[in-house]
Amino acid sequence: MAQQQGNDGERDALISPQKASRESISSMITASFNFINSIIGSGIIGLPYALNQAGLPLGLVLLIAVACITDYSIVLLIKGGNLSGSNSYQSLVQSTFGFPGYLILSVLQFLYPFIAMISYNITTGDTLTKVFQRIPGVGPDHILAERHFVILLSTFLFTLPLSLYRNIEKLGKVSFLSMVLTLTILIIVMIRAATLGPQILPTENAWTFAKWNAIQAVGVMSFAFICHHNSFLIYGSLKEPTLAKWSRVTHISVTSALIISAAFAVAGYTTFTGRTQGDIFENYCRDDNLATFGRFCFGLSIITTFPLECFVTREVISNLVCSRNLSNAEHVAVTMLIVAVCTSLSLAYDCLGVVLELNGALSATPLIFIIPSGCFLRLSSGRWFQGENLIASILIIIGFFVMITGLILTALYPQDCSHGVEMFYCYRNRWDNSKLIYTFTNTTK
């Protein structure tokens, strides 16, 4: 034993403080990439529509508010974990609210990423089929224009192999690629805001400060920013995790996601104003090559985000059903089952908009507003109206209001699904181009 301790001491002495510092910084950067990638998934595509629901000025205020609450509640979550000695979201809730709370959280924590994976597959099928149709020789009847085939192809080639990883740190480079793709999409949407936007007349009340169904917008924004289900996984991937390191990772990740999300939302909404759809790429014309490249980048980006959500669903099953770490065979079997069910459901449904609203109000809002605040209140000392406890109490009230009101409004006023329908300005542009060619031809005769 003494010899072993001596060897360990010699090994530790070989690690310089500079190397240890570099490794620590590297782990924080990797964690930040994974965190930003977890936040910026398919939900970002619905943010322009959220501004359409809330009104541009109020929508931006609400987006910033949701980002700030997300940042605060993520740190609050890890604080609660440290207070209770918990190393997962499930164990934290079980230590504070017992098995009933643990069961409710497990259902929510499973449903959110599970439905998100379905939405990722739906978006992959919608976007990549339009991309493939721009390839010469690929028409509407070609197999590459069939969304079912494209979803199955992307599943077997990309999402399933990536989801089979057991270590989330191995997805760091994939997460970095996803971030680069997302920034590329942002640039494309901003270019089209400058070039296509002036050709489309704004709708009536396009610049109204606030609209009555702003609560539905909060649901979409919550869906876009939810990342709490990944928090303990990413926190555990840090080298020597501390609350100070976690706070820095959280602030960097949420702020970066807010900047990207706000720019994307404003650029998308100002282009199409009141005509903005739940899937912003449905607003662009099929023969728009720049938008087609954006569709390709977005499809590839959400393919790389899919495995992060699969990590969470698999962990919930492992904790709730098995109550232990999965063996290699069980790991493969559970992963394949999750991916198979998600793929089957995404093959059966093709409307994205309602999924964003319902998942935001039903799953994301409790996970962001209510549960982290409730756990912290139960674990912290002092009265509910004092200091940090007061903020947590206010977040719980806001969370219940947004969840209940959002579900009611979504049920009463669901978003129309115009999947695959070309917008009127696309036909007008083609008619104008045809007229220009006809006039030029007759003039030169």
437 has a pLDDT exceeding 60:
no
Token duo for residue 161: 């192999």
d(CA 254, CA 225): 8
3 has a pLDDT exceeding 50:
no
Token duo for residue 433: 């181009």
Q: What is the CA radius of gyration of the chain?
A: 23
Cα angle: 46, vertex 48, 50; to 5 degrees: 70
Three-state secondary-structure class, residue 27: helix
d(CA 304, CA 181): 10
Give yes or no for a contact between 6 and 186, defined as CB atoms under 8 angstroms apart: no
Three-state secondary-structure class, residue 430: helix
Which is more confident, 283 or 30?
283
pLDDT of residue 430: 54
Task: Read off the CATH number of the domain in which 249 is found.
Answer: 1.20.1740.10
pLDDT of residue 19: 44
Average pLDDT over residues 399-417: 80
- The model's pTM is 0.77
pLDDT of residue 152: 92
Domain membership flag for residue 13: no
**Phi then psi for 395, rounded to 5 degrees?**
-65, -35
**Phi then psi for 234, rounded to 5 degrees?**
-75, -35
66 has a pLDDT exceeding 90:
yes
Question: Could you identify the residue written with the tokens 């301790």?
Answer: 5
* 188-202 pLDDT tens trace: 999 999 999 888 888
Domain membership flag for residue 415: yes
What CA dihedral angle connects 305, 308, 309 and 312, to 10 degrees?
180
Which is more confident, 365 or 61?
61
Domain membership flag for residue 404: yes
80-98 core/surface letters (b: 16 or more CB in 10 A; e: else): bbbbbebebbbbbbbbbbe
Question: Binning pLDDT at 50, 70 and 90, where does residue 242 land?
Answer: confident
Domain membership flag for residue 31: yes
Average pLDDT over residues 165-189: 76
Token duo for residue 265: 């939302």
When divided into structural domains, the chain yields a total of: 1
Domain extent for 156 = 23-444
1 has a pLDDT exceeding 80:
no
Domain membership flag for residue 307: yes
269 has a pLDDT exceeding 90:
yes
pLDDT of residue 173: 64
Domain membership flag for residue 302: yes
Token duo for residue 342: 């998600």
d(CA 49, CA 213): 12
Domain membership flag for residue 328: yes
d(CA 328, CA 192): 47
Give yes or no for a contact between 15 and 157, defined as CB atoms under 8 angstroms apart: no
Three-state secondary-structure class, residue 204: coil
| Of 83-92, 119-128, 219-228, 433-442, minimum mean pLDDT range | 433-442
Which residue type occupies 97? F
What letter does residue 287 receive in the DSSP assignment? T
**Phi then psi for 120, rounded to 5 degrees?**
-65, -45
126 has a pLDDT exceeding 50:
yes
What CA dihedral angle connects 356, 359, 361 and 366, to 10 degrees?
-140
Three-state secondary-structure class, residue 41: coil
Domain membership flag for residue 5: no
